[in-house]
Each structure stands twice: as structure tokens, then as C-alpha cells.
Amino acid sequence: MVSTEEIYEVAVVDEVQMMADPVRGSAWTRALLGLRAEEIHLCGDDSVLSVIRKICADTGDDLLVHQYERFKPLVVEENTLRGYFQNIRSGDWVVAFSRKKIFEIKLAIETYTHHKCCVIYGALPPETRRQQAELFNQEHNEYDVLVATDAVGMGLNLSIRRVVFYTLIKYDGEKTASVPASLVKQIAGRAGRRGSAYPHGLATTFKYDLCYLTRCLEEPLEEAEKVGLFPTFEQLEMFASQFPELTFNNLLNKLCDTCRIDDTYFICQHDNMKKVADMLEGVHGLSLKSRYGFCLAPMNTRNSEAMDHLLRFANNYSKSHYVTMGLEMPSGYATNDTQFLDLETKHQVLSMYLWLAQHFGEDNFPHVQEAQTMSTNIADLLGQSLAKGCWKPQLRYQFIGQPPE
């Protein structure tokens, strides 16, 4: 999380259109409003430009806009791949929207063609994603196809010849629906980017939805009307002084329900934070600030094992005990999906431990060096596992209301 206390000469905020994201938007809005910098460079598409103009007018900041066109054309192919993996070509990125589908596609491509696949999705550690991106970008090696979610759009430079949408249907957290046109544009636009080895970018679909793809790319970019905000701890603390009897979750709900903000902003969804708050309700001895900190810890609330570790961390911290990692280093890379999921979970827990150590201090979380070393080693094992393994995936989590995969 970016510091709003440190003073900078220049700050750069990438993917600024994420300000309008219903869940994570507040992090980008906080950066724009809170960064103490003489000059802030905002990079992204212009869907939030109108809102940014209004914010700068409200804050009295000068805004200078530079708009750029693609250096290479993006062409939609006349035909789909007709449902045949044999039509996959070197330099393709096959887009899917679930971990299970990604591994199924990887298995099929490596079974029915001569291609080897690199894999990227959101739950992989950043180090593993970068390693897979570098492997895909290397010329003259066998790993010449990428199978990935839209996670590649964040912070990775890739030499992509053609984007192939396996599907244009995605689970949005509540229901299965067509992928929004803005996301289709962003994904397809990764093909043939400046600096890639290809003269232009191509886009198509695996079997269906070619007309929808074409329509999305022809549509003008939809402008965001509002950007996300979320209460800071200081605001929550001030509000809590008026309602000392409320639990943390009820306090948060009441604040979000009763706060008044102008029509430039919306309150971001915080379902994951509420799940963690519910779990920590029985942990006594946590101050309001500590409870808020634990609820912000980066984790996947669908992963019951990671949730158990967070509960243990909070219990030990509340009793002023040293918080230990509670993990052992795996013996080697994964040879099946169960082992691979275990590596993923261990890395998530270590990332959470390191975040909490930074937030609460190393006096309470004393095994930072060990956690950093283990985290790096597990990221390497995940990379080795992806390079050497080719297995049928299992369902990742079992929970009520699970999205279709």
C-alpha cells in the first residue's frame, strides 16, 4: 500500500482506470488523493478521465492530459479456431477465467500439439508470474503459448502475437455473465504491443463469440461515472466513539450505510473484510486498530486453510505471544494438483505473515527473514512445477455458492 506520509518529487500510478473497480478501486483513489508528490503521472485508459478532471478541479490541482494511439494495428481475424487446439500457434495467449479451465486447456494443448504452455493467473505469486512471463517471452524455446487469465494485464510485459478468447463468459462474483466490453478491449489490446516481436496484433475466439468480440472492440469506451472510496481507520475510529457497543462488523456496516459522499464516489464492496471480521469476532484482546489491520491482510477468504492461519496469527497476537509461521518447507516441486494447491496456499500464508509483520512490527512477527526465504523458495518450486507438470486440475475450494469453473 502506497505511503501517504512520505514526500515524493514524482509518483506514477499505473492502471488508473482501476479507480472505478467496485472492490479494489479505493486503493487507486487513495493514491490519487493522498500521495504527497509535486507531480503525479496517471497511466491507463481514459474511461476515468472525466472523473479525474472533476477531482482535480475540486482539489485545485492542475491536470495536463497526453493521449496516445496504438503503435501497431489490432486486427480481428475472420475465423475462430473452430474449437480445435491444433489451430493454436506460437505466440498465442489463450484467455480463460478460472484456474480449473486454465489447467484443462494447458493439458489439452500439450497433449494434442507440439506446443508447451506458460501459465499465469491471479493466485500465483508475483515472482512465479514474472518467471512464466519471461519464459514465454524468450525466443526459440518450446514454451511458446500462454494460457492465462486477465491477470497478465497487471504489470507484465508480454510479446503476444494473437489473443484467443477461449470463452467470453465470466463469473463476476455474483453470476455468470458476458465479459464487459472494457475488459475485452484491455485483454485484446495486449496483442502486438509496442516492443513485441510481431508487426501487428491479432484477436479471435476459440469457437464461439466472434461477433461479440468484434462488437466489443468497435464500441466506444464507456466512461466511469464514479470512483471507489473506503473508510480509513481514523474515520472508523471517530465513528466508533459514538457506538461503543457495536461489533466491528456492525460498526463497519453502519458507517458504510450512513456515510454521505458526493456523486463522484462510491463505497467499495468489502465482503472479504466482513468474512474476516466475522471469523475474528471471538478473538478477545484485539484493539479496534489491530482488528482493522487483520481484516485488511491480503488473503483469499475462500481458502479455509489460509483463514485458519490468520485466525491463529490473530489469537497469538491478542495474547502478546510471538506469532510463528506454523509452516514447513515442502520437499520438492508438485507432481499433482493437490501438491500444487498446497504450494499456493503456503505462499499465500507466508505473504500474509510478511504483510502483518510490516503492519504490526517484527517484534510481534519475529520470523520475517525465514518467511522471506521460504516464500522465495516456494515461488521457485511453483515455477518448476508448472514447467514439469501436466495434470488434470481439481476444484480449488469447496464452499457454498461456488462459481462454475
Name residue, grid cell 496517471. Answer: 42
Per-residue cell: 344: 499456493
Class of domain 270-388: mainly alpha
141 touches 135 (CB < 8 A): yes
pLDDT of residue 401: 37
Within 8 A by CB and 6+ apart from 370, the residues are 325
CATH number, domain 74-218: 3.40.50.300
DSSP states of 329-396:
--SS--SSHHHHHHHHHHHHHHHHHHHHHHHH-TTTS--HHHHHHHHHHHHHHHHHHHHH-------S
Parts of the chain with a pLDDT under 70: 1, 153-155, 173, 390-405
Among candidate residues 262, 247, 326, the one with its CA nearest the CA of residue 292 = 247
Percent of the chain with pLDDT over 90: 72
pLDDT of residue 400: 33
pLDDT of residue 155: 65
Name residue, grid cell 492530459. Answer: 65
Per-residue cell: 306: 489460509
DSSP states of 113-133:
SS-EEEEE-TTS-HHHHHHHH
- Calculate helix-pair angle for 126-137, 368-388, nearest 10 degrees: 40
Among candidate residues 270, 279, 215, the one with its CA nearest the CA of residue 247 = 279
pLDDT of residue 399: 36
Q: Is 231 helix (H, G, I), strand (E, B) or coil?
A: coil
CA–CA separation, 405 vs 393, rounded Å? 11
pLDDT of residue 195: 73
Within this chain, domains 74-218 and 270-388 share the same CATH topology: no
Cα dihedral 32, 34, 35, 36, rounded to 10, equals 140
Among candidate residues 142, 145, 118, the one with its CA nearest the CA of residue 132 = 118
Q: Residue 286 has what DSSP assignment?
A: -
How many C-alpha atoms does 136 have within 13 Å on its Cβ side?
Answer: 29
Q: Which residues of 118-137 are buried (b: 16+ CB within 10 A; e: fewer)?
A: bbbbebbbebbbbbbbebbb
CA–CA separation, 340 vs 344, rounded Å? 6
Prediction pTM value: 0.86
Start-to-end CA distance of the chain, whole Å, equals 31
Residue ranges covered by each domain of the chain: 8-59, 74-218, 270-388
The 10s digit of each residue's pLDDT in 301-313 is 999 999 999 999 9
pLDDT of residue 268: 93
Among candidate residues 266, 263, 264, 256, the one with its CA nearest the CA of residue 236 = 256
Within 8 A by CB and 6+ apart from 295, the residues are 248, 273, 276, 277, 280
Average pLDDT, the chain: 90
